[in-house]
Amino acid sequence: MPDNNDSRHHISKPFDQELEDIRRRIQGMGELVEEQVKLAIKALEDRDAHLARRVVVNDAAVNSLESSIDEECTQILARRQPTARDLRLVLAVIKTTVDLERIGDEAKLIAHRAIDLSNQLPDRRRFAEQKHLAAHVGTMLRNALDAFDRMDVEQAFRVMDDCKSANVESESVMRQQVAVIVEDQRSIPACLDIMWSTRAMERIGERCCNICEYVVYYTLGKDIRHLAPDDARNAIEDR
């Protein structure tokens, strides 16, 4: 599967500039969301309420970017009436901004759980498996953003392949917390916060997979939503 990062040049140079601008802006939004996720996870691991509150406040910037990029894409659709590959790019950007905004929401949720945990002071050993999941999901996000930036189908599929293992790790953390609750009911509030933040990490991984599906859609014109990675590969090879 090729890396399709070629840029098409139109008779209208302003149109080229508009398409390049939305790609640049989605890259900036991705960097902001990635930073939000990193800070939220650090706040959770360190039980740093101050850092967590920073994440909550900065979520407004993520929301603002989603609105402005969406408006710019709407204007492009109205003025330029793009077709084929150009239309797929605009649609992929619109869909990606939605998923990035949702990832930002998950980062904010993790930050809120970090604030709660800063007051409960649970045993740090409870975070061992969750820390591994957090690192895994962070890598998925970085790779998904890189795949979108370069429109790299192969990398997009590698991220989608990672989603299943991230879900397995999430379920392992959940089982661990249930076992802790059974042993000590006083741990319920802290365990619930860990479980909620774990689910948020799992959803971040799923959103990363969505972004990678848009890479395939833009690059190959194939809608692979709702298909398992192997089935998606087969659908592409059968084109």
In this predicted structure, what is the pLDDT of residue 234? 73
Contacts of 36 (CB under 8 A, 6+ apart): 55, 58, 59, 62, 103, 104, 107, 108
Q: Residue 168: give the domain boundaries.
A: 13-234
Give the mean model confidence (pLDDT) for residues 127-155.
94
Instruction: Please indicate, yes or no, if residue 53 is contained in any of the structural domains.
Output: yes
In this predicted structure, what is the pLDDT of residue 1? 46
Burial class (CB in 10 A: 0-12, 13-18, 19+), 4: middle
What is the percent of the chain with per-residue pLDDT over 70, rounded to a whole number? 91
Q: How many domains does one find in the chain?
A: 1
Instruction: Please indicate, yes or no, if residue 6 is contained in any of the structural domains.
Output: no
Instruction: Please indicate, yes or no, if residue 239 is contained in any of the structural domains.
Output: no
Instruction: Please indicate, yes or no, if residue 5 is contained in any of the structural domains.
Output: no
pLDDT band at 236 (very low <50, low <70, confident <90, very high): confident
Instruction: Please indicate, yes or no, if residue 4 is contained in any of the structural domains.
Output: no
8 Å CB contact between 31 and 68: no
Higher pLDDT, 62 or 47: 62
Instruction: Please indicate, yes or no, if residue 52 is contained in any of the structural domains.
Output: yes
Instruction: Please indicate, yes or no, if residue 7 is contained in any of the structural domains.
Output: no
> Which CATH number belongs to the domain containing residue 225 in this structure?
1.20.58.220
In this predicted structure, what is the pLDDT of residue 141? 98
pLDDT band at 14 (very low <50, low <70, confident <90, very high): confident
Instruction: Please indicate, yes or no, if residue 79 is contained in any of the structural domains.
Output: yes
Residue type, 35: E
What tokens does 103 get?
């990832």
